[in-house]
Each structure stands twice: as structure tokens, then as C-alpha cells.
């Protein structure tokens, strides 16, 4: 029985409800009257239900699809302006006891090199990341209670936050580790993490169990209910995601939105972010063995439909995707991207990109300086801002601000000030030149004169060596 308020996975991600949703979407995919009504509702910026959004995803009328794309772009501008938040993943350990068939870290993979960073190695990684200009990380680890217990993850977080190298600092650590207990989520919260991220991989229970044949991750309910435990443990920024390619995308899309509706219904706050990874080639993994790979066009349509359905949720795209796809996705609603990522354990401290412990092939291999310049050349403001959660603007407080579009009054100036730090400390001369012009232009877009004046003063102070200003 479908019930978004239930705490049982099979009731809030209800298989029958998804099938009925897909049938409804299929039946109405050319129903112009209904589609127009849904688009009108989406324009109110209050979001769409999974059924409504599924109709847009199923729609095959080119003019209507273009309307969805235009609306997605508009919503993106309204809520996020032209800022793009930048982060990097940091792989701590690839020891794993699970049997996930799409992941090279799976337990049976005997030829991948297994590695777990020591605290000294974490330090070396963080210094390398700081030297590029990163301020925000997402830590990643396989699931292994012996090699990667929660104490190890907490030690790593402590090490990461403690390192101050030159003007560098990691100011926000997001965490992508396997589903765990309320008690462990409390510990992560106390360690000062930003978002807790956990990809559902697939919402289709039967496929989920086949794709995760062994290990603790096999338990669909435990995995699917993890965000409720995280919220019970006090983490109010959680990040959802689906690994596209494993199951039928329309099913996943409906499941993803039902998950978001569930979090809103139970905890009063939806997901902070949604990630849209696609299965990639990796050691022992051939993406072609999965039947449900999606084209770039469908991928873009999914992004646009997510954007109009949950306008206040950040959307993340990683370096699994190449420059061309990332560019297109930025238009359609992506608000955060990773840059200069290495998906191997200990990869950043190495001069050459190592492959022996890598989780997946990285398609976008540009440096952070190149990514920053690329964004600015397209008139985006690369943002290294981490202010919200450090100012206590998380969960419903963040969402309330975001929904009232007030977040832009802090985010825009914060983006400019953190970009200025990047330009001063890490940028190449050409990037610096482009960036200074962009900042000068963007200061004029700050609404309040008082704020404008404070930003100008702070930019001067950054030039003189001060750091870490925020609204
Ligand atoms: N081990 C944790 C867990 O079980 O949730 C999370 C960390 S894992 C390093 C991060 C994510 O990488 C997984 O949730 C999965 O979606 C993704 N991933 C695994 N194999 C992949 C592949 N071959 N291509 C792309 N992404 C992959």
C-alpha cells in the first residue's frame, strides 16, 4: 500500500504506485491539455508530484519538451542564479565486503589493488586538494566494518578539517558511505559533516537484490530507509541519487521523486541534493552488460524534469561525464559539479593519474583551473562557498530561505568572495584575468548597495591576505 508518510521502504517507494505512475504517464504523454496544466503548475516553482513529473518525462512532443527545457533553465536561474558550486571526491578506502555487480570495489574482484589511506596519507591528499583550490570534499569509501569502521571515517574527517596548508582549508566535508545506524549518523553529525550522500542505485527492489547479491548492501529496506535514520541522527542535509543504466530510467525517476516526497512528508524537508551518475567502465566492469544505458538526450531530459519537479534541490554531476554533457546539464539545472577528480585511493598526491585502485574512468580530466575558467567563459560563477551549513543554514532553514529565493542574497556575494580567494591563491594568470572581470561585472548584480559596499571592502581585504569572509 503506497504511503509517503510510512517509514517502511516498500510503502513509500511502492512498486505498484510506480507501475501505475508509468502507465498514467504513458497514457498521457501526448495529452497536451494535461501537459500544459503541469507546466503551468511547475511555473509556480512549488514543485511537481512524481506522477506529474513522469508525464513530462514520457512526453514526446518536441515543442512541449522544449518548454520543459526552457522552464528548467529559468528555474535554475531563479533559484541558483549563475553560480556553480565546486567540489572534489576523496577516496579513503576501496576495501569492501559487498558484491555490487557494477562496482569494481566488489568483494570478489581479486585483481584490483586494495588500499586504505593512513592519516598521513589523508593529509597528503588534502594538501594536494587544497593546493588546487578545493574547499569542499565528498569523502568516499567502500563498506567494510573491519577495515573502514565508523571510527576510521571519523578520524579521517578530523584530519581533513585540521589541515591548514598555506591559505588552504577544507571547509565542508560531505560523506558518501554505506547505509549505517542512527548512532553512527549522530557521530557523523557531531563530526561536523555537510551533506550525507547515499545513492539508491536502483529503486526497483527485485533488480536491487540481484545487483547487490551479497553483503550488507543486499538489504533493500535497510538501504532505502537510510535517509530516515540519518535524519533521526540529526543530519538534515541528505543527498539522493540513482545510478542510471542499471534499471529502466522512468522507473528510477518516479522512485527518486517518491523518495523526495517521502522525506518532505516525514521530516518536513526534502533532499538537499540529487546526484545523477551513470554507470561507467571500470576494472572488472563493462557498462554494456547492463541493459538500461541511457543516451545523452534522455539523460538531459531527466535532468530538466528533475529541475522542474524539485526546484529547490541542488543537482550534482560528476566527472563521470565529459565536458560536452556537463555543459548541457549546466543549462538544464545542475548546480554543483566536481572538478579535477581522481577516483583512486591516494590519487591526488600522485603526479600521474593512477588507475590501479580507481572506482571508475573519469571522462572529464581537466585541471581545476581549466574547469574554473571554462565555467567563467560561459558566464557562470564558480563558487567555493561553504557558508550555509557553517552558519547553521541547513535542512528546513536552508529550504525555507531557498524557497523564498532569499538564499541568493548570501550566495551570490559569497560565491564572488570565494572565487576571489581562488584567483588570488591558485589561478593561472589567464584565469585570474577572466575572473577579475567577471567579479567586477557581477558586483553590479548585487541588489543592496550596503552589501555591495561590504563585498568591495572584503575583496580588498582578500587581496591583502585575509580569508574566509561570509554572509
Ligand atoms: N560504498 C558506498 C555505498 O555503498 O553507498 C558509497 C561509496 S561508492 C564509492 C559511490 C558510488 O559510486 C556508488 O553509490 C555507486 O553509485 C557509484 N558507482 C559504483 N560503481 C560505478 C561505476 N562502475 N560507474 C559509475 N559509478 C559507480
pLDDT string in tens for the chain (471-residue length)? 999 999 999 999 999 999 999 999 999 999 999 999 999 999 999 899 999 999 999 999 999 999 999 999 999 998 889 999 999 999 999 999 999 999 999 999 998 999 999 999 999 999 999 999 999 999 999 999 999 999 999 999 999 999 999 999 999 999 999 999 999 999 999 999 999 999 999 999 999 999 999 999 999 999 999 999 999 999 999 999 999 999 999 999 999 999 999 999 999 999 999 999 999 999 989 889 898 899 999 999 999 999 999 999 999 999 999 999 999 999 999 999 999 999 999 999 998 898 989 998 899 999 999 999 999 999 999 999 999 989 999 998 888 877 777 766 789 999 999 999 999 999 999 999 999 999 999 999 998 899 999 999 999 999 999 999 999
- What is 149-212 written as a DSSP string? -HHHHHHHHHHHHH---TT----EEEEE-----HHHHHHHHHTT-S-EE---B-S-HHHHHHHS
**Model pTM?**
0.97
Beta strand ranges found along 225-366 (DSSP E) = 238-241, 273-275, 314-317, 336-338
Q: What is the CATH number of domain 79-365?
A: 3.20.20.70
Q: Which three cell numbers stand for residue 97?
A: 565486503
Count of beta carbons in the 10 Å neighbourhood of residue 447: 10
Quickly tell me which residue has 518548454 as its cell.
Answer: 67
Cα 355 from Cα 353, distance rounded (Å): 7
H/E run at residue 58 = helix 50-58
CA–centroid distance, 192 to ligand 1, in Å, is 23
With CA atoms as reference, report the closest residue to 283 among 408, 96, 87.
Answer: 96
Q: Identify which of 201, 273, 321, 359 to mutate to test ligand 1's pocket (most ligand atoms within 8 A of the CB).
A: 359
Closest Cα to atom 1 of ligand 1: 142
Quickly tell me which residue has 526497483 as its cell.
Answer: 204
Which residue ranges make up each domain of the chain?
9-76, 79-365, 405-463
Q: 141 forms bridges with which residues in the sheet? A: 93
User: 86 CB under 6 A from ligand 1?
Assistant: no
User: 21 CB under 6 A from ligand 1?
Assistant: no
Q: Identify which of 196, 243, 279 to mutate to test ligand 1's pocket (most ligand atoms within 8 A of the CB).
A: 243
User: 442 CB under 6 A from ligand 1?
Assistant: no
Question: Contact at 8 Å (CB) between 175 and 227?
Answer: no
User: Phi, psi at residue 189, to the nearest 5°?
Assistant: -60, -45
Residues 6 or more apart in contact with residue 164 via CB below 8 angstroms: none
- What is the CA 301 to chain-centroid distance, rounded? 18
Amino acid at each position: 500500500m503506497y504511503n509517503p508518510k510510512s517509514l517502511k521502504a516498500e510503502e513509500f517507494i511502492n512498486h505498484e504506485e510506480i507501475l501505475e505512475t508509468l502507465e498514467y504517464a504513458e497514457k498521457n504523454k501526448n495529452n497536451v491539455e494535461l501537459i500544459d496544466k503541469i507546466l503551468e503548475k511547475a511555473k509556480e516553482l512549488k514543485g511537481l508530484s512524481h506522477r506529474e513529473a513522469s508525464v513530462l518525462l514520457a512526453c514526446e512532443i518536441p515543442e512541449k519538451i522544449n518548454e520543459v527545457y526552457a522552464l528548467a533553465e529559468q528555474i535554475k536561474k531563479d533559484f541558483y542564479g549563475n553560480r556553480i558550486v565546486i567540489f572534489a571526491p576523496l577516496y579513503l578506502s576501496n576495501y569492501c565486503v559487498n558484491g555490487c555487480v557494477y562496482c569494481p570495489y566488489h568483494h570478489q574482484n581479486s585483481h584490483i589493488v586494495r588500499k586504505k589511506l593512513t592519516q598521513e596519507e589523508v593529509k597528503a591528499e588534502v594538501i594536494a586538494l587544497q593546493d588546487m583550490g578545493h574547499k569542499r570534499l565528498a569523502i568516499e569509501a567502500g563498506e567494510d566494518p573491519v577495515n573502514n569502521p565508523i571510527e576510521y571515517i571519523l578520524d579521517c574527517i578530523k584530519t581533513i578539517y585540521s589541515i591548514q596548508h598555506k591559505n588552504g582549508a577544507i571547509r565542508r566535508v560531505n560523506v558518501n558511505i554505506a547505509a549505517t545506524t542512527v548512532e553512527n549518523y549522530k557521530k557523523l553529525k557531531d563530526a561536523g559533516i555537510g551533506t550525507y550522500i547515499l545513492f539508491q542505485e536502483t529503486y526497483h527492489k527485485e533488480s536491487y537484490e540481484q545487483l547487490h547479491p551479497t553483503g550488507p548492501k543486499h538489504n533493500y529496506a535497510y538501504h532505502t530507509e537510510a535517509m530516515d535514520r540519518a535524519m533521526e541522527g540529526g543530519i538534515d542535509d541528505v543527498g539522493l541519487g540513482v545510478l542510471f543504466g542499471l534499471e529502466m530510467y522512468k522507473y528510477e525517476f518516479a522512485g527518486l521523486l517518491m523518495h523526495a516526497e517521502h522525506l518532505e512528508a516525514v521530516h518536513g524537508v526534502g533532499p538537499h541534493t540529487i546526484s545523477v551518475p551513470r554507470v561507467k567502465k571500470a576494472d572488472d566492469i563493462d557498462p554494456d552488460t547492463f541493459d538500461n544505458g541511457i543516451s545523452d538526450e534522455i539523460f538531459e531530459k531527466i535532468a530538466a524534469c528533475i529541475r522542474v519537479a524539485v526546484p529547490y534541490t541542488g543537482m550534482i554531476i560528476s566527472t563521470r561525464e565529459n565536458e560536452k554533457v556537463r555543459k548541457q546539464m549546466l543549462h538544464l539545472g545542475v548546480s554543483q559539479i566536481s572538478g579535477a577528480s581522481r577516483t583512486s585511493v591516494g590519487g591526488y598526491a600522485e603526479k600521474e593519474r593512477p588507475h590501479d585502485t580507481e572506482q571508475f574512468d573519469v571522462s572529464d580530466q581537466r585541471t581545476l583551473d581549466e574547469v574554473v575558467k571554462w565555467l567563467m567563459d560561459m558566464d557562470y560563477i564558480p563558487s567555493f562557498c561553504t557558508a550555509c551549513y557553517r552558519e547553521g543554514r541547513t535542512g528546513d532553514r536552508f529550504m525555507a530561505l531557498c524557497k523564498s529565493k532569499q538564499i541568493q542574497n548570501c550566495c551570490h556575494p559569497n560565491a564572488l568572495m570565494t572565487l576571489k580567494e581562488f584567483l588570488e591563491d591558485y589561478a593561472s594568470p589567464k584565469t585570474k584575468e577572466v575572473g577579475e572581470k567577471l567579479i567586477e561585472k557581477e558586483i553590479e548584480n548585487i541588489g543592496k548597495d550596503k552589501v555591495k559596499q561590504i563585498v568591495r571592502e572584503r575583496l580588498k581585504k582578500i587581496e591583502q591576505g585575509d580569508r574566509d569572509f561570509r554572509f
